[in-house]
Amino acid sequence: MKRIQVVILDLDGTLIDERGTTDRAFLAAGRLLHEHVGIAPDRFARVARVTAQRLWWRATWIDPLSDAFGISAWDGLSENFERAVPALDRMRAWLPAFRQAAWKLALDNVGAAGRGLAEAVGAVYTQHRHEGVRLLPGAADLVETLVREQRRLVVLTNGPGDGQRRKLGSSGLLEYMRGLVISTEVGFAKPDPRAVSLAIERAGGRYEEAVVVGDTYDRDVLGAFACKVPAIWITDQPASHRPQNPLAVPVRSTRAVLPALYALESLPAHLIPLNGQADQQNKPSPELGQ
Ligand SMILES: [Mg+2]
C-alpha cells in the first residue's frame, strides 16, 4: 500500500505553463497592433503588461481581494470569474471597465490611441489565453503515472473558476482529477488551511496520506504546512536562498516531482514528515509556517 494516496496538485507553474501562455497572449496582441500601426510586437506586449498591472493595483479595494483569492491582472483581462463567491461581485462588475481602460491606456502609451483597436487587441489576448494553454514538460507523465499507481489527485488552485477549468479541460488533465478546489469558488485560498483540508476531503483521503505539489512557497508550501502535510516544492531558487523546512522537498521542475515523491515515501517511517498529527480544527501551525 502506498503511503501517499492523495496528491494535491497546484495548477499554474506546476502542471500548466501559465507564464508562457500569458507571454504569448500579450505578444499576439502586439502582433495584431503591428499589422495596423507598425509598432514592434514585443514593445506593445511589454507596455500592455505593465499598464494592466498598474491599473489593476490602482483600485485599492482589489489588493485584499487579490491577496485573499490569489488572482491577477492577467486573469482580469481574460476571465469572467463565473461561479465566484459573492465577495467578488464588485470585481466582476468592474472587469469590463478594467479591460477597456487597460487596452485603451496601453494603446495610448505606445502612441496608437484613437484607432479603435482596443477591443480587437483585447480579443486576441483573450483568445490566446484560452486556446494557447500548454502543459509543462513532464506534467502529463506525472499525472498519468500517479493515476496508474492508483493515487487520488485533486487540483488545488488559486484563480478564476472559468479560466482554471478551461486550462484543465483543454490540457486533457481534467478526467484524471478526483476533484478541484478553486479559490474564487470556495471562498478561501492557499495558504488558508481550509484549502488543503478541502482538497483532502474531496479526494476522500486523510491528512497523513497526503502531499502537496506546487511552485509557490507562500501559497503551496505554507498551505501544506498549515495542515502539517509535506510539500514537494518546484523551485529554481538556489539552496542558500530557500527557506529550510524538513516538510518541504525542493525539486527543480515538474519532471523531478515523481522521484521526489518516491524518495519521500521510501524514508523510514519515523523520518517521514507525514503529519498524522494535523490540527483537527485545521488552524494554521505557526511553528511550521514561519
Ligand atoms: Mg503555481
d(CA 9, ligand 1 centre) in Å = 9
How many Å lie between the centroid of ligand 1 and the Cα of residue 109? Answer: 31
Single residue among 131, 166, 189 that ends a domain in this structure: 131
| Domain harbouring 242, CATH code | 3.40.50.1000
Same domain for 141 and 267, yes or no, is yes
Query: For the chain, what is the domain count?
Result: 2
pLDDT tens-digit series, residues 149-179: 999 999 999 999 999 999 999 999 999 999 9
Question: Does some domain include residue 111?
Answer: yes
Cα 220 to ligand 1 centre (Å): 7
* Residue 118 Cα to ligand 1 middle (Å): 30
- Please give the helix or strand (H or E) that residue 285 lies within, else none: none
Q: Do both 250 and 277 map to the same domain?
A: yes
Q: How far is the CA of 112 from the centre of ligand 1 (A)?
A: 34
> Which residue in this structure is represented by grid cell 494557447?
132
> 221 CA to middle of ligand 1, Å?
10
Give the residue among 47, 278, 243, 9 at the shortest CA–CA distance from 140: 9
155 and 261 both lie in a single domain: yes
Residues 148 and 278 in one domain: yes
Angle at 110 between CA 109 and CA 115, to 5 degrees: 95
**What is the pLDDT, as a whole number, of residue 209?**
94
Residue reference for cell 502543459: 135
Residues of the chain with pLDDT under 50: 1, 274-290
CB 162 within 8 A of CB 41: no
* CB within 8 Å of 171: residues ≥ 6 apart: 15, 16, 133, 134, 135, 139
- Are residues 117 and 147 part of one domain? no
- Write the DSSP assignment of 212-251 as a string of letters: EEES-IIIIIHHHHTTT--EEEE--S-GGGSPP-TTEEEE
Confidence (pTM): 0.90
234 and 255 housed in the same domain:
yes
**284 with 206, same domain?**
yes
In a domain, 1, yes or no: no
End position of a domain, from candidates 131, 158, 177: 131
Residue 63 sits in the same domain as residue 157: no
pLDDT given for residue 213 in this prediction = 98
Q: Would you say residue 199 lies in a domain?
A: yes
Residues 171, 226: Cα–Cα separation, whole Å? 30
User: Residues 33, 92: one domain?
Assistant: yes
Q: Domain check: are 198 and 94 in the same one?
A: no
Counted residue by residue, the chain has a size of 290
Q: Ligand 1 centroid to 71 CA: how many Å? A: 12
Q: What angle do CA 126, 234, 70 make, to 5 degrees?
A: 45
- Evaluate whether residue 172 is within a structural domain: yes
Kindly state whether residues 179 and 257 are assigned to the same domain.
yes
Q: Is there a domain that residue 221 lies in?
A: yes
* Residue 141 covered by a domain: yes
**pLDDT score of 227:** 95
In one-letter notation, the amino acid at residue 209 is E
Same-domain pairing of 161 and 113: no
Grid coordinates standing for 264? 519521500
* Cα-to-centroid distance, 215 and ligand 1 (Å): 5
For residue 184, being part of any structural domain is answered with yes
Domain span including residue 114: 18-131
Measured in Å, residue 14 CA sits from the centre of ligand 1 at 6
Residue 253, in any domain of the structure: yes
